[in-house]
C-alpha cells in the first residue's frame, strides 16, 4: 500500500482503527457485564494512560452530569461512565470504535450518544454543553492539537473539568525499529511525525499492517496549549506501560502524562 498523503492522515487513521477493532487491539475491546455492574454501584476504574487508574478525586459527582468522551471510542470508558450515571456522548473518527460503544450500550441498556467526527471539529456539539471531558491518549494520531483544546474549552461549561492523557514527546526521539529489538537509539527531532520523518518504506511497515500513524506534539502544545485555550491545570501524573518487554522505555522513565484542567469562565 502506498503511504497516504499527510492531508489524508486523519481518514487513514480512522480506517486503521477500524482494522484494529477487527484484530482485537486491546484498546478496542469492550468492557464486560461485570465491569458495568460494578460501575452502576459507583465502583469503577478507567485510564487516560496505559495502566494507572485516574484518581477518583479527579472526577466530579457523575450521576446526572453531561460527559464528553473525546476521541475515546472502543466500548471502554464511555459505557463505564454511563453506567456510573453520567449522560455520555462519545466522539471518535473510527466508525468501528463507535460501534463498540453502541454494542455495549445496547447490551447493558445504557444511553450513549455517538458522534463520528474529527476531534478538532466538534461543530455538531453546542457551546457549554458538557460538565466533563474525558480525552485519553489519542491526540498522538492527530496532526495538530491546539484546535482540540480550543474546541474542548468551547463545549465545556464553566466549572467543568477536562481529563486528558498523552505521550511525552521524548518517546519519539528513538528509532522505532531499534526499540522493537530492545535498543534505544536516538534518531528523531521533536516534533515528530511518522509520515514526515520516516522513509516511504518505513511508513509502509505500518500501512501494510493497517496500523495508525502517529505524531508527537511538544509539551508546549500539550500542556501550554491547554493553558492558552483558557484552562487551569490542577492535576498531573505520569505513567508507563506495565511491561518493560512491551516497552523498553518504561524501564528507565514514565513516558505518558495525564492532566486535570478546569474551565473557570466562559
Pair 29, 76: CB distance under 8 Å: yes
Residue 266: what pLDDT?
Answer: 63
Predicted structure pTM score? 0.96
At 25, the pLDDT band (50, 70, 90 cuts) reads very high
Q: Give how far Cα 243 sits from Cα of 81, 179, 184, 253, Å.
A: 27, 14, 16, 12
Domains of the chain plus CATH, in order, are 6-263 (3.40.50.150)
- Give the C-alpha separation, 117 to 196, whole Å: 24
Is the pLDDT score of 223 beyond 80? yes
Q: What is the pLDDT of residue 246?
A: 79
Burial class, 61, CB count within 10 angstroms (exposed 0-12 / middle 13-18 / buried 19+)? exposed
DSSP state of 186: B
pLDDT value at residue 99: 98
Query: Which run of H or of E encompasses 221?
Result: helix 219-222
Residue 265 in this model has a pLDDT that exceeds 80: no
Average pLDDT on 34-62 reads 98
Band (pLDDT 50/70/90 cuts) for residue 1 is: low
pLDDT digits (tens, 9 = 90+) for 121-162: 999 999 999 999 999 999 999 999 999 999 999 999 999 999
Which residue shows C-alpha cell 459505557? 79
Residue 49 pLDDT greater than 70, yes or no: yes
Residue 104 near residue 128, CB atoms below 8 Å: no
Amino acid at each position: 500500500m502506498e503511504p497516504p498523503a499527510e492531508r489524508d492522515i486523519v481518514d487513514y487513521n480512522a480506517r486503521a482503527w477500524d482494522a484494529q477493532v477487527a484484530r482485537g487491539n486491546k484498546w478496542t475491546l469492550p468492557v464486560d457485564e461485570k465491569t458495568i455492574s460494578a460501575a452502576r454501584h459507583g465502583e469503577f476504574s478507567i485510564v487516560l494512560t496505559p495502566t494507572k487508574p485516574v484518581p477518583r478525586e479527579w472526577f466530579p459527582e457523575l450521576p446526572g452530569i453531561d460527559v464528553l468522551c473525546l476521541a475515546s471510542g472502543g466500548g471502554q470508558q464511555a459505557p463505564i461512565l454511563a453506567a456510573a450515571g453520567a449522560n455520555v456522548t462519545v466522539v471518535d473518527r473510527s466508525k468501528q470504535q463507535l460501534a463498540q460503544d453502541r454494542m455495549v450500550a445496547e447490551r447493558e441498556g445504557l444511553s450513549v450518544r455517538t458522534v463520528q467526527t474529527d476531534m478538532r471539529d466538534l461543530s455538531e456539539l453546542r457551546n457549554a454543553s458538557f460538565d466533563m471531558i474525558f480525552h485519553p491518549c489519542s491526540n498522538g494520531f492527530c496532526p495538530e492539537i491546539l484546535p482540540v483544546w480550543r474546541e474542548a474549552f468551547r463545549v465545556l461549561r464553566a466549572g467543568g473539568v477536562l481529563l486528558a492523557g498523552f505521550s511525552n514527546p521524548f518517546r519519539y526521539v528513538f528509532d522505532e525499529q531499534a526499540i522493537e529489538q530492545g535498543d534505544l537509539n536516538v534518531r528523531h527531532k521533536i516534533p515528530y511525525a511518522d509520515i514526515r520523518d520516516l522513509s516511504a518504506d518505513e511508513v509502509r511497515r505500518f500501512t501494510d499492517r493497517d496500523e495508525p500513524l502517529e505524531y508527537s506534539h511538544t509539551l508546549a502544545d500539550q500542556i501550554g496549549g491547554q493553558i492558552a485555550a483558557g484552562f487551569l491545570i490542577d492535576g498531573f501524573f505520569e505513567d508507563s506501560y506495565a511491561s518493560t518487554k512491551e516497552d523498553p522505555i518504561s524501564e528507565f522513565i514514565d513516558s505518558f502524562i495525564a492532566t486535570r484542567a478546569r474551565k473557570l469562565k466562559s
